[in-house]
C-alpha cells in the first residue's frame, strides 16, 4: 500500500507562503486528513510587503476550507513575534523595516536574513511557544514544517529533507497546481504566467529578476517607494553606500528607468524559501 504523503501522523506545521502552490498543499492535507488534524498547525508569516491580494487569498483559504491559519509577524521583543490577523496585519513593510533598523544594514542575495528572520525564525519562535511543539530546539522546529515546493523545483528542493516536501513526493508539477486553481471556485487574485506568480511574495523582492522588478514598478510605481526609502535609510548610516543588490541600479534609479521603457537586465529570479 502506497503511503499518502499528505497524511499527518506527528506534530507538523504547514508553512503557508500565501501562494497557489502552498495553498494547494494545504488543500491536499485537508482532504487527506478529513480536515486539519489536531497535530497540525498552519502558519503564514507576513513581512508587510505582500500584495493585498495575497492577504485576501490567505483569508479565503481559511474561511472556505474551515482551516485555522495563524498569522505571524516579526517583532523586536522578548517573544520575537506577534500573532495578528487579516485586519491587523501590517501592509506597509513595518516588520521588514523594523528588522532592517535593528540590523542596521540591508539583506542581499548572499545574506538573506529577511527570509531567515521574518519567516523561518519567526515561525519557529511561535511554534516553541505552543504546547504541541514544546521542548523542541529551533533546529528541530525548522524540521517539522512542510514547505510548498513542487517536484519541478529541484533547485529549491535539494536544500530540504524530502520528508518536508509532500508535493515533491507526490510528483506535483506547476501544471497540476495551475489546473487545480482554474477549476476552483476562488483563486489568488494575481496573474499566473506559465505557472509563475511574478507578483507573489514580497512585492519587489531583490531576488526577483531585474526586468521583472522593472516591469512591476512600471505597472505600479508606488511599489518601489518603500524599497527606495530603505536603501536611502541604509545609505544614511553607511556612507560607503548600501543597496539590496550592488550588481543593479538602486530602486530609485529603477523607478526612473521605467520612464524609458528599455530592457535593463538579462538576469533571472533567484529561488527563495518564501515559496509560491
Please state, in angstroms and rounded to a whole number, the distance separating the CA atoms of residues 50 and 55.
7
Task: Yes or no: say if 163 and 144 are a contact pair by the CB < 8 Å rule.
Answer: no
Task: Kindly list the distances between the CA atom of residue 145 and the CA atoms of 85, 125, 190, in Å, as whole numbers in the listed order.
Answer: 21, 13, 26
Say which CATH topology domain 12-183 has: Rossmann fold (3.40.50)
Please state, in angstroms and rounded to a whole number, the distance separating the CA atoms of residues 89 and 47.
9
Give the CA radius of gyration of the chain: 19
**pTM of the full predicted structure?**
0.90
Report the half-sphere exposure of 124 (CA within 13 A, side-chain side): 17
Cell numbers given for 192: 499566473
Residues of the chain predicted below pLDDT 50 = 1, 266
Please state, in angstroms and rounded to a whole number, the distance separating the CA atoms of residues 146 and 12.
7
Report the half-sphere exposure of 68 (CA within 13 A, side-chain side): 9
Predicted local confidence at residue 148, as pLDDT: 95
Predicted local confidence at residue 196, as pLDDT: 72
Task: Yes or no: say if 196 and 35 are a contact pair by the CB < 8 Å rule.
Answer: no
Cell numbers given for 267: 538576469
**Backbone phi, then psi, for 257, in 5-degree steps?**
-65, -30
Predicted local confidence at residue 139, as pLDDT: 82
Task: Kindly list the distances between the CA atom of residue 260 and the CA atoms of 220, 253, 264, in Å, as whole numbers in the listed order.
Answer: 15, 12, 10
State pLDDT tens for residues 126-168: 999 999 998 898 888 888 999 999 999 998 898 888 779 999 9
Please state, in angstroms and rounded to a whole number, the distance separating the CA atoms of residues 25 and 10.
17
Task: Yes or no: say if 191 and 220 are a contact pair by the CB < 8 Å rule.
Answer: no
Task: Yes or no: say if 24 and 177 are a contact pair by the CB < 8 Å rule.
Answer: yes
Predicted local confidence at residue 162, as pLDDT: 75
Query: Domain-by-domain residue ranges, the chain?
Result: 12-183
Dump strand ranges (E) for the chain. Answer: 12-15, 40-45, 70-74, 81-84, 145-146
Amino acid at each position: 500500500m502506497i503511503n499518502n504523503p499528505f497524511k499527518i501522523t506527528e506534530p507538523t506545521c504547514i508553512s503557508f507562503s500565501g501562494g497557489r502552490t502552498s495553498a494547494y498543499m494545504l488543500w491536499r492535507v485537508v482532504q487527506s486528513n478529513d480536515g486539519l488534524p489536531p497535530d497540525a498547525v498552519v502558519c503564514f508569516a507576513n513581512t508587510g510587503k505582500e500584495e493585498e491580494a495575497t492577504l485576501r487569498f490567505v483569508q479565503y483559504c481559511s474561511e472556505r476550507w474551515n482551516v485555522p491559519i495563524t498569522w505571524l509577524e516579526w517583532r523586536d521583543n522578548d517573544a520575537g513575534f506577534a500573532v495578528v490577523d487579516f485586519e491587523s496585519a501590517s501592509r506597509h513593510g513595518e516588520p521588514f523595516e523594523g528588522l532592517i533598523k535593528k540590523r542596521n544594514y540591508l539583506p542581499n542575495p548572499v545574506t538573506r536574513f529577511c527570509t531567515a528572520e521574518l519567516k523561518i525564525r519567526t515561525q519557529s519562535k511561535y511554534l516553541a511557544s505552543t504546547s504541541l511543539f514544546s521542548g523542541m530546539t529551533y533546529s528541530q522546529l525548522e524540521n517539522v514544517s512542510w514547505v510548498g515546493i513542487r517536484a519541478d523545483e529541484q533547485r529549491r528542493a535539494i536544500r530540504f529533507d524530502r520528508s518536508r516536501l509532500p508535493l515533491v513526493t507526490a510528483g506535483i508539477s506547476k501544471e497540476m497546481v495551475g489546473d487545480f486553481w482554474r477549476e476552483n471556485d476562488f483563486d489568488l487574485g494575481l496573474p499566473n504566467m506559465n505557472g509563475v506568480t511574478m507578483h507573489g511574495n514580497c512585492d519587489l523582492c531583490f531576488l526577483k529578476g531585474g526586468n521583472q522588478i522593472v516591469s512591476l514598478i512600471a505597472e505600479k510605481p508606488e511599489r518601489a517607494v518603500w524599497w527606495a526609502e530603505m536603501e536611502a535609510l541604509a545609505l544614511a548610516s553607511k556612507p560607503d553606500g548600501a543597496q539590496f543588490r550592488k550588481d543593479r541600479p538602486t530602486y530609485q534609479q529603477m523607478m526612473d528607468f521605467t520612464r524609458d521603457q528599455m530592457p535593463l537586465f538579462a538576469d533571472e529570479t533567484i529561488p527563495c524559501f518564501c515559496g509560491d
